[in-house]
A and B are shown apart, each in its own frame.
Chain A
Amino acid sequence: MLEMTQIFKVFYEGTPDEKIALNKVDLSMRPGDFVTVIGSNGAGKSTLMNIISGKLVPDIGTVMIDGGNMTSLAEHKRAVKIGRVFQDPMAGTAPTMTIEENLAIAYNRTKKRSLGFGVTKKRRDFYREKLEMLHLGLEDRLQAKVGLLSGGERQALSLLMATFTDPKILLLDEHTAALDPARAELITNLTKEIVSALGLTTLMVTHNMQQALDLGNRLIMMDKGQIIFEADEQEKQELTIEKLLAEFQKIKGGGGLSDRSLLS
């Protein structure tokens, strides 16, 4: 479903700040794979996400999604195949527009926009039915402005908007990091529910190791622009936070406390 080969990306090339963000990264995902990505700040996780979504173009390497070469395709064009949820709960919705209007915008992700109304009676029923999946009572507040919702509610709505049109790939960029523990758990559970119900191919970046272990069937660990550790379905089931940290230190040559504090 996703095939990334030999991705290389460098920032500020030729300046003292030159930084290799991704160094010949290969990543392949089969349909239905749910891969969690962990790694310290600056490991290249966000760059990886942005190269898949088209916000960034790799210097070298190719990105194939659903059999098509997307390496330099414009962000909005490949969005037809990609659903995204951002870290900032404000980033995935339009605050001055109503819940149903936001859903209408998301509904058009896979279709050409027309001069027909975005919210019709039939569509409203459809939106309401989808909102019920969130169990937040949002289905009774279709005409409420999204700016009035709490961060958790907005993130749940973002998750729904990114997924209800069956994307080929779902990208979750630390989408629970900005929420309080209770809300984060709610969104984590919703993610689990929605991804398994729709069988979505998902890539999730997180700083929370427990979450990385709880969700998904594969796990990768990144450091300094490379994938340094990979666990497949079977290996992942036996992983614990301790084992992960030990693995990290083994590869890094026993960096000790500073690495541990960066990851936990």
Chain B
Amino acid sequence: MTAMFGAVESGVIYAIMALGVYLSFRVLDFPDLTVDGSFVTGGAVASIMIVNGYDPFIATIAALFAGFLAGCMTGLLHTKGGINPLLSGILMMIALYSINLRIMGKPNVPLLAEETVITKIESWFTSEWSIFFFMLVVTLIIKFVSDLFLKTEVGLSLRAVGDNEGMVRSFSANTGWMKVLGLGLSNALVAFSGALVAQYNGFSDVGMGIGMIVIGLASVIIGEAVIGNSTIARATLAVVIGAILYRIIVTLALRIEFLDTGDMKLITAIIVIIALIMPKVLDKRKAAVRKKKRLVQLNGDGGGPVA
């Protein structure tokens, strides 16, 4: 039960990262691999500031800005440099690996003895639910602010860039800057989440971002499969719930004795593959059932058998 509670708790924190991935992957239609690097950048900036005596809240906000810059760089590589989206993200991800090492000065920064956002919240409230509720409130605020932003004039053209780039350009929007802004915001959320995860886990590690984009995608896809994405508010809610469900699924999978924690990435990949393939398989099966019914109906109506 505690494992399950922990899964939901960390799911809420990872949901902020998933919202970032939603912004790039769904809204901008830009598969942005920067996420693997910027997640760590967030953790690195926050940890090193905390270790050096800064207020943990200020350190976490600083991480947000660091992520924004990283995302903007990817956007510039793509729009000004004309590099393909996937490659821009990969280049930025690999560059950030070294940058993150530079920020931290070593591969791992422990935070166990430090005052973090987590320890502060625990000191404010006595309930064991305090972290969960605090993070839930933060995540929901980010969700609602994103919902509102995507309905502003800037937000609408950002969405249209992912939908029909030529059309927004013909309505005088600078699509290049829109992409830079969108990727900046996306990675800002990812880095913010990275900063919180580092404090939650009690350390930041240069390898903590590996596969983060896939986890983000898993959350987006699982959420959409369960909740749907008919409106923006619904789609972002789906992402938050998807992130929590993902953590629960992984926790359950790890209970199988044969699997150990090193198999996490494999499990993640398999979850995403299943989530991507299942809807198609289900659709096909539904179509087959419908066809069978139709045939029975037609044959029942008299006349010769059809096919």
Contact = CB atoms under 8 A, between A and B. Distances in A.
A255 B173 CA distance: 46
B167 A79 contact: no
A148 to B, nearest CB: 12
A117 B149 CA distance: 8
A97 interface: yes
Interface string A39-70: 00000000000000100000000000000000
Given A79-B170, A91-B166, A105 B160 contact: yes
A80 to B, nearest CB: 5
A94 B172 contact: no
Interface stretch (A108-116, A219-227, A256-264): A108-116
B153 A104 contact: yes
A113 B169 contact: no
Interface string B148-177: 010111111101100110111111111100
B151 A118 contact: yes
A153 interface: no
Interface string A99-143: 001101110111001111111000000000000000000000000
A76 B169 contact: yes
Contacts, number: 85
Interface residues of B, number: 22
Contacts of A114: 152-154
Given A92-B167, A94-B167, A79 B172 contact: yes
Contacts of A77: 172
B172 A108 contact: yes
A95 B164 CA distance: 8
Given A76-B173, A105-B173, A116 B152 contact: yes
Contacts of A108: 153, 157, 171-173
B163 A96 contact: yes
B153 A97 contact: no
B151 A105 contact: no
B167 A113 contact: no
A75 interface: yes
Given A96-B163, A97-B160, A118 B172 contact: no
Contacts of B151: 117-119
B307 to A, nearest CB: 32
B172 A104 contact: no
Contacts of A161: 171
Contacts of A202: none
A109 B169 CA distance: 9
A80 B172 contact: yes
Interface in B243-299: none
A87 to B, nearest CB: 12
A95 B156 CA distance: 13
B248 to A, nearest CB: 29
A8 B8 CA distance: 64
Interface string B38-73: 000000000000000000000000000000000000
A167 to B, nearest CB: 10
A93 interface: yes
Contact of A76 (B153, B155, B172): B172
Contact of B163 (A76, A95, A117, A118): A95
A175 interface: no
B169 A105 contact: no
Contact of A79 (B163, B164, B169): B169
A168 interface: no
A113 B174 CA distance: 10
A67 B22 CA distance: 44
A200 to B, nearest CB: 16
Nearest to A95: B163
B111 to A, nearest CB: 36
A113 B160 contact: no
Contacts of B156: 97, 101, 104-105, 118
Contacts of B160: 94, 97, 102, 105
Nearest to B163: A94
A9 interface: no
19 contacts: A74-B174, A76-B172, A76-B175, A79-B169, A79-B171, A90-B164, A91-B164, A91-B167, A93-B167, A95-B163, A97-B160, A105-B167, A105-B168, A106-B171, A108-B171, A114-B152, A115-B154, A117-B152, A119-B151
**4 closest A-B pairs (Cβ-Cβ)?**
A79-B172, A94-B163, A113-B153, A94-B160
Given A95-B164, A116-B153, 5 more contacts: A75-B170, A91-B167, A97-B159, A105-B173, A115-B152
